């Protein structure tokens, strides 16, 4: 299962045999959401519970692993001859996983049920997780970068929460005004290794650049990409952005001590609860 999300992919190993009649089966499942606090963990457990109820003869043995360690763990377990049947891994690591591991494409696992199983799923999303025209991994979640902001901190800094910043230059100016009140200004999760794939891409693309060219060559050394990332670095250098890890920024935002937070839509539920 490929996903964008928390810190940070694809079905790995040999699929478990489909049980016939009353024949029991066990599936091992490696997940970076399983056992975690918040929506990701509770949602994953709900899926596991629903699956167990629908398929009482199939036992799923889940194991939680940090998103940054999933690919390394998959490599290690595969080399030891004991890969999980299913693994959840960030989309940014999918290409490497498909290239380096004995992946069984999920489309081939589904066989004749594929069309009905994927009815309603965006073809663009399916093509993003395809290799040579075959869907290698099942899309699991989609994260979209958004900017959350604290309207109370905006008002305290003399800013209008009805007209939030629309450019990074505006973000910097607003963040410095918020910092002058004793709070932190902004945090953009590009500096967080778990989110940097799609957030970095968004920042670079918004400046007219790209991460790779049409031939697959890396273009991070081109002017649009350099300018975009230098702008993010300047936020920290100027004091508009605290030089902390994402976990600290999240804690500050949910406490009401950070004015703006650019990160995944996955934060929405906890941000609303904190507000």
CATH number for the domain whose boundaries are 145-274: 3.40.190.10
Query: What tokens does 82 get?
Result: 């004991």
**pLDDT tier, 13 (very low <50, low <70, confident <90, very high otherwise):** very low
What does the pLDDT read at residue 211?
A: 86
Give the model confidence (pLDDT) of 29-44 as tens digits: 999 999 987 778 889 9
**pLDDT tier, 213 (very low <50, low <70, confident <90, very high otherwise):** confident
Give the model confidence (pLDDT) of 223-273 as tens digits: 999 999 999 999 999 999 999 988 899 999 999 999 999 988 878 888 888
**pLDDT tier, 52 (very low <50, low <70, confident <90, very high otherwise):** very high
* CA pair distance 104, 98, nearest whole angstrom: 9
What does the pLDDT read at residue 3?
A: 52
Give the model confidence (pLDDT) of 133-165 as tens digits: 899 999 887 778 899 999 999 999 999 999 999
Cα–Cα distances in Å, from 26 out to 29, 56, 60?
10, 11, 6
What does the pLDDT read at residue 7?
A: 42
Question: 139: how many CB neighbours lie within 10 A of its CB?
Answer: 19
Q: DSSP assignment of the chain, as one string?
A: -EE---------SPPPPPP-TT--EEEEEEESSTT-SSHHHHHHHHHHHHHHHH-TTEEEEEEE--GGGHHHHHHHHHHTT---SEE-EEGGGHHHHHHHS----HHHHHGGGHHHHTTTS-HHHHHHTEETTEE-S-EEE---EEEEE-HHHHHHTT--TTS---SHHHHHHHHHHHHTTTSEEEEEGGGSTTTHHHHHHHHHHHTT--SB-TTS-B-TTSHHHHHHHHHHHHHHHHTSS----HHHHHHHHHHT-EEEEEEEGGGHHHHHHH-
Give the model confidence (pLDDT) of 182-194 as tens digits: 999 999 988 766 5
The residue extents of the domains of the chain are 2-141, 145-274
Between residues 93 and 3, which one has the greater pLDDT?
Answer: 93
What does the pLDDT read at residue 14?
A: 42
**pLDDT tier, 20 (very low <50, low <70, confident <90, very high otherwise):** low
Terminal C-alpha separation, the chain: 32
Residue 151 CA neighbour count, 13 Å, CB half: 6
What does the pLDDT read at residue 22?
A: 67
* pLDDT of residue 11 exceeding 70: no
Domain 2-141: state its class.
Answer: alpha beta
Mean pLDDT of the chain: 87
**pLDDT tier, 21 (very low <50, low <70, confident <90, very high otherwise):** low
Partner residues linked to 263 by β-bridges? 146
Give the model confidence (pLDDT) of 62-121 as tens digits: 999 988 889 999 999 999 999 999 999 887 788 889 889 998 999 999 999 999 999 999
What does the pLDDT read at residue 92?
A: 78
Fold: same for 2-141 and 145-274: yes
What does the pLDDT read at residue 10?
A: 37
Select from 105, 103, 104, 101 the least CA-distant residue to 75: 101
């Amino acid at each position: 299962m490929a996903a964008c999300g928390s810190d940070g992919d694809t079905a790995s190993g040999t699929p478990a045999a489909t049980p016939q009649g009353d024949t029991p089966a066990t599936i091992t499942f490696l997940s970076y959401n399983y056992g975690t606090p918040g929506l990701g963990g509770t949602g994953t457990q709900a899926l596991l519970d629903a699956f167990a109820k629908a398929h009482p003869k199939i036992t799923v043995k889940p194991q939680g692993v940090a998103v940054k360690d999933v690919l390394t763990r998959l490599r290690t377990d595969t080399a030891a001859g004991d890969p999980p049947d299913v693994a959840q891994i960030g989309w940014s690591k999918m290409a490497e996983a498909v290239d380096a591991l004995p992946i069984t494409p999920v489309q081939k696992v589904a066989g004749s049920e594929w069309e009905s199983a994927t009815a309603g799923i965006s073809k663009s999303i399916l093509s993003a997780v395809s290799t040579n025209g075959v869907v290698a991994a099942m899309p699991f979640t989609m994260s979209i970068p958004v900017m959350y902001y604290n309207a109370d901190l905006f008002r305290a800094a003399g800013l209008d929460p009805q007209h939030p910043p629309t450019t990074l230059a505006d973000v910097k100016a607003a963040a410095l005004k918020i910092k002058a009140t004793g709070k932190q200004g902004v945090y953009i999760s590009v500096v967080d290794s778990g989110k940097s794939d799609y957030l970095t891409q968004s920042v670079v693309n918004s400046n007219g650049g790209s991460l790779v060219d049409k031939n697959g060559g890396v273009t991070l050394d081109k002017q649009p990409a350099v300018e975009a990332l230098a702008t993010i670095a300047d936020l920290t250098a100027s004091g508009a952005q605290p030089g902390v890890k994402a976990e600290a920024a999240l804690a500050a935002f949910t406490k009401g001590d950070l004015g703006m937070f650019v990160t995944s839509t996955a934060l929405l539920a906890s941000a609303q609860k904190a507000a």
